[in-house]
Amino acid sequence: MAAPSEASPLRVSASPAASNKQHGAAPAPRLAGRARDALVFAAGVAAAVLAILGAPGMSSSLLVATTVPGPEDGLRTFYDDPELSYDAVEGRRLTGWDAKRAEWLRSHGLGRRRSAPERVVMVSGSQPEPCPGDAGDHLLLRFLKNKLDYCRLHGIELLYNRDVLQPAMKGYWAKIPIVRAAMLAHPEAEWIWWVDSDAVFTDMDFSLPLATRYAGRNFVAYGWPDKIEIKSWLAINAGVFLIRNCQWSLDFMDEWARMGPAYPEHARWGKVVRDALADKGDDAWCDDQSALVYLLLHNWERLGKKAFIETEYFFQGYWLEIVDRLDGVAARYEAMERRAPALRRRHAEREHLRYAAARNAAVSGAVPGPAGGGEKGWRRPLITHFVGCQPCSGGRNPMYSRESCEDGMRRTLGFADNQVLRAYGFRHAAPLNDSVRPLPFDYPAAPARR
């Protein structure tokens, strides 16, 4: 509907006219008659508008098309630059991004208050074709649901991509074009969080320590100290990483991309990383992870002030070190809650973060290990990563059995689901059982029904 006029409204009072008539006063001036006529006319217009809005087949867009601001009315931003390119390979290098992004945020009233959490967009994806492996599409759906659950509980937006944005950057390299494009498409996001499709969130309570642990850093990935020391190509995992939406990160992504298959020097990089990194064997192909490890470890003096290699908690954990411990983790959390009546109160899912903070505070003194899990202790791991299992293709690494991968994924996804289902009054009947059962009041102090 059209916006109301800002002029003073027409005021009509019945009492003076009634008083004049009662006391035999002279008729009201002609101006009152004009006001009366204007009121009648306005009432007629209003009736006509209501008739049009209610008429079958009539569209209200006739009334609002000239009053609703359109795209052409907005402020000019970096998006209006015809030279702006989302292409991570053939596009012109983007410069001045920090200033352009800051201006966009100001013009849209999105400046962040100090007390507000930093905005995060999670990016994940899978191949555009159907999965060739048995139940591959079903497994990817469950992995996707897991990410949707975590994002919903933590106020994170999820961008799931299944398109190859740069034909030459296929396979593991496909993440770089979409992450770079996400930075430009989401200037409101302070962080872009890439998470591989085969990674499972196994602690729905854990929130990233963005404002504390990662303050002043622009890139975060998980690494193993012993492998970093020998410069192994497995020293840093490229399947889960955080990258700040800033010029430093765009330059970093450009440098990483130039080692990939879209560039003619890619073949040369294969030999460089094979000679420079341990455990690479005779593989002369430069994959994205080898490129990342080489880029960081051989340029640490230049990049180390802004990069952070996480080793304290399972920013992403190796599934083979985690799966067999999940039952023990769940048992310890339930034992803690049996001693904490306040945590057993039923609550709306919207209150999840408040209860998560209280649960983390209680568990920190009752269950050993770092928040987010780790190689020692019994805390829930933030992410369990099924590297080598290849749920979509089914072409798992021969060092793993089919049963270990499939049962491990089902067990881990069920472990995560139970944390979500609890707000709805249910949980899985058993670790490898997809059926659910209702939870009694005061669970886990009261045993669940079989």
Co-location of 176 and 300 in the same domain: yes
Co-location of 151 and 290 in the same domain: yes
Question: Is the separation of the CB atoms in 379 and 367 below 8 Å?
Answer: yes
Does 277 reside within a domain?
Answer: yes
Co-location of 302 and 217 in the same domain: yes
Q: What are phi and psi of 113, to 5 degrees?
A: -75, 150
Task: Give the domain extent around 426.
Answer: 319-438
How far apart (Å, rounded) are the C-alpha atoms in residues 44 and 48? 6
Position 29 scores a pLDDT of 45
Does 447 reside within a domain?
Answer: no
Position 134 scores a pLDDT of 86
pLDDT band at 361 (very low <50, low <70, confident <90, very high): very high
**What are the tens digits of pLDDT across the range 72-125?**
777 889 999 888 888 877 777 899 999 999 999 999 888 777 778 899 999 999
pLDDT band at 25 (very low <50, low <70, confident <90, very high): very low
**What are the tens digits of pLDDT across the range 198-217?**
999 999 999 999 999 999 99
pLDDT of residue 49 exceeding 70, the answer is no
Co-location of 182 and 161 in the same domain: yes
**What are the tens digits of pLDDT across the range 403-434?**
999 999 999 999 999 999 999 999 999 999 99
Instruction: Specify the pairing of strand 426-430 against strand 317-318.
Output: unpaired
Question: Is the separation of the CB atoms in 392 and 213 below 8 Å?
Answer: no
CA distances from 159 to 105, 136, 183, 247, 381 (A): 20, 20, 11, 21, 23
Position 257 scores a pLDDT of 95
**What are the tens digits of pLDDT across the range 112-128?**
777 788 999 999 999 99
Q: Which 8-state DSSP code applies to residue 194?
A: E
How far apart (Å, rounded) are the C-alpha atoms in residues 170 and 178? 11
Q: What are phi and psi of 216, to 5 degrees?
A: 80, 0
Does 288 reside within a domain?
Answer: yes
Q: How many residues does the chain have?
A: 450
How far apart (Å, rounded) are the C-alpha atoms in residues 28 and 203? 78
pTM of the model: 0.83
Give the distance, in angstroms, between the CA of residue 13 and the centroid of all CA atoms in the same chain.
Answer: 58
Three-state DSSP at 197 gives coil
Co-location of 131 and 195 in the same domain: yes
**Residue 154 or 1, more confident:** 154
Q: How many domains does the chain have?
A: 2
First-to-last alpha carbon distance for the chain, in angstroms, is 57
**What are the tens digits of pLDDT across the range 229-242?**
999 999 999 999 99
pLDDT of residue 52 exceeding 60, the answer is no
Q: Of 290, 313, 336, which residue sits at a domain end?
A: 313
pLDDT of residue 284 exceeding 60, the answer is yes
Question: Is the separation of the CB atoms in 325 and 392 below 8 Å?
Answer: no
Q: What are phi and psi of 191, to 5 degrees?
A: -130, 145
Q: Is the four-CA dihedral 105, 107, 109, 111 of positive or negative sign?
A: positive
pLDDT of residue 385 exceeding 90, the answer is yes
Co-location of 251 and 345 in the same domain: no
Question: Is the separation of the CB atoms in 154 and 117 below 8 Å?
Answer: no
Q: Using a pLDDT cut of 90, give the percent of the chain over it.
A: 72
How far apart (Å, rounded) are the C-alpha atoms in residues 49 and 377? 69
Q: 385: which strand partners?
A: 199, 318
Does 19 reside within a domain?
Answer: no
Contacts 24+ apart (CB under 8 A), 264-271: 269/294
Neighbouring C-beta atoms of residue 306, cutoff 10 Å: 15
Co-location of 275 and 396 in the same domain: no
pLDDT band at 373 (very low <50, low <70, confident <90, very high): very high
Co-location of 205 and 228 in the same domain: yes
How far apart (Å, rounded) are the C-alpha atoms in residues 369 and 254? 37
Does 146 reside within a domain?
Answer: yes
* Vertex 429: Cα angle to 325 and 361 (nearest 5): 50
Does 241 reside within a domain?
Answer: yes
Co-location of 297 and 340 in the same domain: no
Does 49 reside within a domain?
Answer: no
Q: Of 283, 313, 343, which residue sits at a domain end?
A: 313
Joined together, the tokens standing for residue 66 give 């000239």
Helix or strand run (H / E) with residue 255: helix 247-257
Q: Of 289, 313, 337, which residue sits at a domain end?
A: 313
Residue at token pair 């800033």: 246
Q: What are phi and psi of 132, to 5 degrees?
A: -80, -20
Co-location of 279 and 352 in the same domain: no
How far apart (Å, rounded) are the C-alpha atoms in residues 441 and 335? 16
pLDDT of residue 399 exceeding 80, the answer is yes
pLDDT of residue 4 exceeding 80, the answer is no
Co-location of 326 and 286 in the same domain: no
Does 162 reside within a domain?
Answer: yes
Position 143 scores a pLDDT of 98
Co-location of 410 and 346 in the same domain: yes
Q: If 0-12 CB within 10 Å is exposed, 13-18 middle and 19+ buried, where does residue 373 land? A: buried
